[in-house]
Structure 1
Amino acid sequence: MIPLKQLFATIYPAELPEEEVYVSSITMDSRSVEKDGLFFCVPGYTVDGHNFAGDAAAAGAAAVVAEKPVQADCPVVYVPNVKRAMAVCASIFYGHPSTKMSMIGVTGTNGKTSVTHYIEQLMHSAGKRAGVIGTLYTRYNGRQVEAVNTTPESIDLQRILFDMAEDTTEVTAMEVSSHALSLGRIHGTVFQTAVFTNLTQDHLDFHPTMDHYAHAKSLLFSQLGAGFDRPLPSVVINADDEYAGWMMEASPVPVLRYGIRENAEVRAETIHLSPSGSTFTLAVPEGRFPVEISLPGTFSIYNVLAAACAANRNGLSWQEIAGMLNGLTGVRGRFEVVKSDAPVHVIIDYAHTPDSLENVLQTINETTSADKIKTVIGCGGDRDKTKRPKMARVSESLSGWTYLTSDNPRSEDPDAILEDMKAGMKESSYAVIPDRREAIRRAVLESSAGDVLLIAGKGHETYQEVQGKRSSFDDREEARSALKEWRT
């Protein structure tokens, strides 16, 4: 049990009850309220937690937290912003677990998943007990739990960090989404290192403009330094990105820049690309080191540089890091090759923004002529509509043939999404096949020996969401099934 006043000691203004109240648990779900629990009335997109304050009190809540008047037969704590108060209270309730390890936050439109996994691998190679939190799962010390959000809700996040700290995790690499930053999910989480990968169009259904989107990302950097008893935090920024200056201005602590084109402290030079990977010289203030990685594409070099910088800022020497980079392995659903006896090369990738799709297709174009490249692509429903024609146009410009299909239509009409995508097509080198399973099958069977087929948009996902219902669907399995039919 923890005193209510202790949970709200650093939250102002907060109207606390005069009587002494003790809390045994915290939740934002009225259905999981326990006796003497604290319920946060979180306003959502479709459901408002304030409507369930009475239910929480009836279930035995010691108090509820609200930002507008509610009816409840228990004490009510009023705050200006429930989500931010919840994040801080969660950190206090679980004993500030983020301060018991080195937290590395990674934000950006593309590359977050790969960078966090590369950091985890580097730390493991250095003998550290490392974990990762992100789009795919939470994983640490042999345990793995599938993810719901890229960045968990604040109560879930602090409980996860508590479990990781209890299991003596030393370093955690965490994906930090713009939604989590805007909605205050990471308030109360102390980061030792913050990494910026890049910023390109995405989530404009949530952020009104690109400037708003950039501001949300910059919050990771402007909020650094909250743990006054901790070592000085560090910031790692992609110097080649057009929003690098924005992030650097937001940072109150020293910045380490990485890049290929721009003047940066950490650079990849003399780059040689091949279908199986890359070689380059890692140029740092301490010296120059030859590097070979089995990760194809220029975008992979950027991701590796970001992870290397984060590892360096968390105690690894550049010489150690350079020797470890050739052991890095790819991430599920990120430029993942589907193995088959058929002479058709199928690649699965999560690319779901115009920039990420362009990066992947440019990588394929480095070793394959465009006329030998086919792309299966869709766009998610209830998301940024302005990127749909852009995605189609990128595919058309870098592929010989494009199959427009469904991604996760969610509540939207799949045909309406496809009409938005078709607006970006200037040529006639495409087919519209709404059924994703049939689109993948057709794409495989219509491929010739030596063709490269990119199936983009869903990557690691193992479901398809249509009208609020999720059904099993895995691009890898669909591709394998079709490959068995090829020329049989």
Structure 2
Amino acid sequence: MKLSDLIKDFSKSVISKDYNISSIASNSKNIQPGGLFIAVKGFKFDGHDYIDQAFSKGAIAVIAQTNPKNLKNVILVENSRLTMASVAANFYGNPSKGMTLVGITGTNGKTTTTWLVESIFKTCGFSTGVIGTVNIRYKNLVFDNPVTTPDSIALQKTLYKMKKSGVTHVIMEVSSHGLDLNRVDYCHFDLGIFTNLSQDHLDYHKGMSEYFNCKKRFFTQCLGSSKKNNPIAIVNIDDPKGEILLKSIKYKTIAVSTQK
């Protein structure tokens, strides 16, 4: 794919040549000759410290937020993690556009809900895939999944493989970490499910308000801005946060309750 097609929405730099990109990676160890390296600041390591290494391993270009050494073919963007989500989706042909994609978020019950929805879809005869905490599975294939929501490159690659194998319906657990780190941006969801919200992940989030707003972003931005027609949100209103969430959604909603 042409470099210009990957970066057209984010680049603040003018590229000297429109290279053909053979691969993409955010880990310099995974760089292949002719590839594009995306420098992302992580919790332990900063990809910007490995730009030289990426070029030495054959990277054609680098996407980064800073370029202190003024290296050639470094394309500056405001948010390299968000840009990575866009680049990954483009590189793998935006696979979720051609499938039915369901996102499930909440503190508890995500995994159980994926099993329930998977059973329903399979009973209806749909070729179904799941991306979740337990594993990634489709077409009698099962893969370990080290995190609930994979990074955007791994996620888009998985969706691409699922679509190529004939999967039509995908159910994905969407974690607050995945949302905050832009892993599911540029995924085209058809439906979102909110299970509940209780105290969790406060080692990462700065409080319950920030934690809830992160979950809320899935519905107001990711699902709300989906390029699919008529997205739907299913919200558990037995949880007080579910009632608050319901009022913020501007598209079709289905409220569920065992008490009201």
Give the deviation of 1:53 after TM superposition: 0.2
Cα pair distance change 1:145/1:70, threshold 3 Å: farther
Residues 75-474 of structure 1: pairs in structure 2 closer than 5 A: 75-223=73-221, 224-228=223-227, 230-262=228-260
Cα pair distance change 1:251/1:14, threshold 3 Å: farther
Give the aligned residue type for 1:261.
Q
Which SS does the other structure have where 2:233 is aligned?
strand
Partner of 2:8: 9
Specify every segment of 5 or more residues in structure 2 that has no aligned partner in the other structure, as ranges. Answer: none
Is the contact between residue 26 and residue 39 of structure 1 (CA under 8 Å) also seen in structure 2? Answer: yes
Which SS does the other structure have where 2:240 is aligned?
coil
Is the contact between residue 151 and residue 176 of structure 1 (CA under 8 Å) also seen in structure 2? Answer: yes
Which SS does the other structure have where 1:23 is aligned?
coil
Give the deviation of 1:255 after TM superposition: 0.6
The alignment status of 1:60 with 2:58, answered yes or no, reads yes
Give the deviation of 1:248 after TM superposition: 1.8
Structure 1 residues 371-430: Cα deviation after superposition (integer angstroms, max 9, x where no partner): xxxxxxxxxxxxxxxxxxxxxxxxxxxxxxxxxxxxxxxxxxxxxxxxxxxxxxxxxxxx
Q: Which has the higher contact order (CA 8 A, sep 6+)?
A: 2
Give the deviation of 1:244 after TM superposition: 1.1
Q: Which one of 19, 22, 25 corresponds to residue 23 of structure 2?
A: 25
Which SS does the other structure have where 1:15 is aligned?
coil
Give the aligned residue type for 1:166.
K
Give the deviation of 1:59 after TM superposition: 0.8
Cα pair distance change 1:169/1:72, threshold 3 Å: farther
Give the deviation of 1:226 after TM superposition: 3.5
Q: What CA distance in whole angstroms lies between the structure 1 residues aligned with 2:200 and 2:174?
A: 15
Is the contact between residue 233 and residue 252 of structure 2 (CA under 8 Å) also seen in structure 1? Answer: yes
Structure 1 residues 203-239: Cα deviation after superposition (integer angstroms, max 9, x where no partner): 00111010100000011101224343x3211000001
Cα pair distance change 1:102/1:24, threshold 3 Å: same
Q: What CA distance in whole angstroms lies between the structure 2 residues aligned with 1:157 and 1:59?
A: 24
TM-score, normalized by length of structure 1? 0.52
Q: What CA distance in whole angstroms lies between the structure 2 residues aligned with 1:183 and 1:246?
A: 24
Is the contact between residue 113 and residue 175 of structure 1 (CA under 8 Å) also seen in structure 2? Answer: yes
Give the aligned residue type for 2:172.
M
Partner of 2:46: 48
Which SS does the other structure have where 1:38 is aligned?
strand
Give the deviation of 1:14 after TM superposition: 3.0
Structure 1 residues 284-326: Cα deviation after superposition (integer angstroms, max 9, x where no partner): xxxxxxxxxxxxxxxxxxxxxxxxxxxxxxxxxxxxxxxxxxx
Indicate the percent of aligned positions where both proteins have the same amino acid: 35
Q: What CA distance in whole angstroms lies between the structure 1 residues aligned with 2:23 and 2:70?
A: 18
Structure 1 residues 450-479: Cα deviation after superposition (integer angstroms, max 9, x where no partner): xxxxxxxxxxxxxxxxxxxxxxxxxxxxxx
Q: What CA distance in whole angstroms lies between the structure 2 residues aligned with 1:242 and 1:55?
A: 50
Give the aligned residue type for 1:3.
K
Structure 1 residues 129-188: Cα deviation after superposition (integer angstroms, max 9, x where no partner): 011101011001111101111000100000000000001111111000001101111111
Give the deviation of 1:10 after TM superposition: 2.5
In the alignment of these two chains, the number of paired residues is 259
Give the deviation of 1:261 after TM superposition: 1.1
Q: What CA distance in whole angstroms lies between the structure 1 residues aligned with 2:178 and 2:247?
A: 21
Partner of 1:292: none
Is the contact between residue 53 and residue 72 of structure 1 (CA under 8 Å) also seen in structure 2? Answer: no
Which SS does the other structure have where 2:251 is aligned?
coil
Pairwise CA RMSD of aligned residues?
A: 1.3
Which SS does the other structure have where 2:43 is aligned?
coil
Q: What CA distance in whole angstroms lies between the structure 2 residues aligned with 1:181 and 1:163?
A: 22
Give the aligned residue type for 2:4.
K
Which SS does the other structure have where 1:243 is aligned?
helix
